[in-house]
Amino acid sequence: MMTGLLHTHTLSVVLFLLIYLIKCVLLWTNTARLDAFAQKIRIPEMIVSALFLITGLALAYNNASIGVGSWFWVKLGAVFAAIPVAVVGYRRHNKYLATLSLLLILYAYGVSETKSARMNKKDFAEAGRQMALANHPELSAVVTDPMDSSGKTNANYDLVAHGKSVFLAQCALCHGEDGKKGLGGAKNLEETRLDKNQIMDLLLKGKNTMPSYRNVLSEQEMMAVVAYVKIRFASKGH
């Protein structure tokens, strides 16, 4: 169900942006054609807008990451600010308000994709880490660098312990600390039969509602998560 919602939401977002882009271009180039296009597209635009909002709210209801940082409320604010600005802009043929509404929608899309008001994916990773530290103060003692300051192997580094700290910060939101939470369509990790390479590939590329962590986590962090998942959960699925 979550996968279907995600695909429907993605399609409606793309169509919504396309409609706004066409209307904005027509407003700047030919207002008569804009009025004709707006009249022709009125019903489809209402359907797309409704799907955009309904599927977005449904996904948000099942999205644990909303509570991590302020990105969701920034996105929501941008979307709801864009709507009245667009209404006034197109009704009055005001090019600047119409363009502003399009920019607000594009900004909201960027925030949604990166989960960051600055559209920097690492902000979300850091917010998750701070939340994990607040709930598990013992994580502050975990060594996260396999090399010491002199460039030699750090004898205190534990790959699995490092993986646990990253998992609690980034993965437990949807999977739960026990791997069974299943929020947002997350799979029960105790039932997984994926090998290490498949888990790494999933972290790199993402799948369905699970995002890619390629630009969020370092290679070492992903290797640590894979080690932790295999030790903590995967063995129970065999």
H or E stretch at 3: helix 2-29
pLDDT tens-digit readout, 111-170: 998 999 999 988 998 999 999 999 999 999 999 999 988 888 899 999 999 999 999 999
C-alpha torsion angle, residues 191, 193, 198, 204 (rounded to 10)? 0
* pLDDT recorded at residue 151: 86
- Is 0.85 surpassed by the pTM of this model? no
Tell me what pLDDT residue 203 has: 95
pLDDT class of 211 with cuts at 50, 70, 90: confident
Given this model, what pLDDT does residue 225 score?
Answer: 97
% pLDDT > 90, the chain: 73
Smallest CA-to-CA distance from 204 within 194, 195, 214, 196 is with 214
pLDDT tens string 16-42: 999 999 999 999 999 999 999 999 999
Mean pLDDT of 99-111: 96
Instruction: For 43-73, write each residue's pLDDT tens digit.
Output: 999 999 999 989 988 888 878 788 888 999 9
